[in-house]
Each structure stands twice: as structure tokens, then as C-alpha cells.
Copies of this chain bind each other. A is one copy, B any other.
């Protein structure tokens, strides 16, 4: 990401002149980037969320291009909007970088951001540029969205509901393991998913309309994120291992059975949607993988696999850094 033209060789207006024309606008954008702030038409409720990626923590240049990181940081933010039952409408993007960072990396990154926004029908509303100490590159995105009905929270799961997933399980973590082992040819689709998650954005509002009682996107793994729904809703979620067998089988050839199960149960960065629905109201494309019940006497809310409680696992930013 260094080499080529360093950012410090351009002034801020020149740099913005290279960046801004690549960004999509939208019919709802009343004031586009360039003034003090953007102005966006919206309905009565606006959704807002933010997520940041840091070089060396969230990505390595050996494994991901600038465009990959652009796709990924947009996808993980828009997934949070979808997981509330909303339609993403716009993003703000902040780049904080070592002035030695190459302009070529930045323009590739901007291309990835713009492609991901265009694909989702989302406008780039604005952003900020700032310099950072040597070696630091950080991209922070805030996503806004429109909510037509009621938000789908994590706390609404009720006894008798079905737990269901929309999208893949464990693929992104499998891709990370293949990159770490330098065996990417064993399952290229997993490596591609690690680089560019594909959250099923339209499925979020569809689930809300179908009566989903709780929903989130899988960023930290099925056990940890499922446990969040269980604890917020004060219920027990029984995962059905047989329902996960196809997901495990899809990864076993490349990783072996044990690692494949790990990926499916605890793999992060997948950004598929996990939700609970009243029995009989599962929309098309969702797969039932468990059920919701009230805790038995003395039992703690949480997630249970084949009758055994499991601890949530996953990444912790400051401890695991």
C-alpha cells in the first residue's frame, strides 16, 4: 500500500477531486458532499450505525486489496441496517492514513466502496480525511437507513419461535483459515467471502414484514451472536446440529471436520442474517436451524447445542489485539 504516489504529494482539494467523482449519489440526496454536511430525504425514522476497520487488525494487505476493504466495510455496515429491518440509504466514510499511503491504494479502495454502494442503491453522503502516524490506515463508515415499519430488535424472541438463518455459515472464517494456511485453492469461494462478505440486505426488511421477532447479522459467530439474542430475549435457543450438517459438509473437504464445525459455530465476519420467527411464518430463503423456549427452572438464558450449554466465543478488540 506504499510505493506509487504518496498521499502527501496531493493537497486535500486535489485528493477530494480524485475521490468524489467516483461516489454514487441518489435521488434522496438533497445536498451532496462538498458543503458543511449532507442533507438526505427520509421518512419518519432513520437508522444509524457505524463500524471501523484498521490495517493489521481487521485486514492484511497481503490478503485483501484496497477494493476488497471498500466492499467489506460497506457490507458490514449495511448488514447492521438490514438486521434492524431497514433499507440502507447512505454512508459517510472517513479515511485516517499515514501520508505515505499510496494514492493508487486509495483510488482502488474508493472503487470498492463505490461498487458496494452502487450495488446496494446507497449514496455516499460525505466523509473526512485525516493523517495518522506511520503505518496506520483506518477506514470508518457510518451507515444510515430508512425504516418503514417497526425495528426488529435482539430482544423479541419468544418461546415457540423458530431460529433461522439467511445466507451461508462459516464461509468467511474458512476463507481466513485457508489464507492463513496458504491453501486458498482448496475452496476459493470461501476466500472470496472472507474478502467480500455478501449480506442478504433485502432479506432484512422482508423478514421484518414477515413478522421476525428478533434479528441480527452474524458478525461474531453463530454461538456468540445467537447467545446475544437469547440473553436479550431471556430465552433458551436450542440449535439443531443436524440442520447445520450441510454447512459443515461444505467446508470439511477443505478444512477437515473439526475445523469446519468450528467455522460454522463460531466463525465471524459472515454477515448472514440470524432471526427468530413465529412458527409457520418463515419467509422464502430462510433455513430453520433451531428453536426458542423458556429457560427451565434455574437455567440461564443462552444458546444450547444438542442439549448442552456452550460458552460464547469470539473476538474481543482490546484483549485479543
> A residues engaging B (CB < 8 A)?
7-8, 10-12, 15, 30-31, 35-54, 56-58, 80-81, 83-84, 86, 90, 92, 94, 96, 99, 125-133, 135-136, 138, 140, 142-145, 147, 151, 153-154, 215-217, 316-319, 321
CB-CB < 8 A to A31: which residues of B?
Answer: 84, 151, 153
Asked whether, in the complex, the Cβ of A131 is within 8 Å of the Cβ of B39, the reply is no
Asked whether, in the complex, the Cβ of B132 is within 8 Å of the Cβ of A57, the reply is yes
- What is the CB-to-nearest-CB distance from A23 to chain B, in angstroms, rounded to a whole number? 14
Contacts known (A130-B317, A318-B10); A49 close to B42, Cβ less than 8 A: no
| 16 interchain pairs, CB-CB under 8 A | A10-B319, A11-B318, A36-B49, A37-B86, A38-B47, A39-B45, A39-B46, A39-B48, A39-B147, A40-B48, A41-B44, A50-B126, A54-B131, A132-B136, A142-B142, A144-B144
CB-CB < 8 A to A147: which residues of B?
Answer: 39
CB-CB < 8 A to A46: which residues of B?
Answer: 39-40, 42, 46, 144
Stoichiometry, as copies per complex, reads: 2
Asked whether, in the complex, the Cβ of B52 is within 8 Å of the Cβ of A94, the reply is yes
Contacts known (A40-B46, A48-B92, A94-B50); A316 close to B35, Cβ less than 8 A: no
Asked whether, in the complex, the Cβ of B317 is within 8 Å of the Cβ of A129, the reply is yes
A81 to B31, CA, bound (A): 12
A138 to B12, CA, bound (A): 20
- What is the CB-to-nearest-CB distance from A303 to chain B, in angstroms, rounded to a whole number? 16
New A-B pairs, 10, CB < 8 Å, besides A36-B154, A133-B135:
A35-B153, A37-B48, A39-B45, A39-B47, A42-B45, A48-B144, A49-B92, A52-B130, A94-B140, A138-B138
Question: Among the listed B41, B99, B142, B319, which residue makes an inter-chain contact with A50, where contact means beta carbons less than 8 Å apart?
Answer: B142
A154 to B46, CA, bound (A): 26
Residue from A99, A128, A318 whose CB has the most chain B CB atoms within 10 Å: A318
Asked whether, in the complex, the Cβ of A140 is within 8 Å of the Cβ of B45, the reply is no
A316 to B130, CA, bound (A): 9
Asked whether, in the complex, the Cβ of A37 is within 8 Å of the Cβ of B130, the reply is no
Contacts known (A35-B84, A130-B57); A52 close to B96, Cβ less than 8 A: yes
CB-CB < 8 A to A138: which residues of B?
Answer: 96, 130, 132, 138
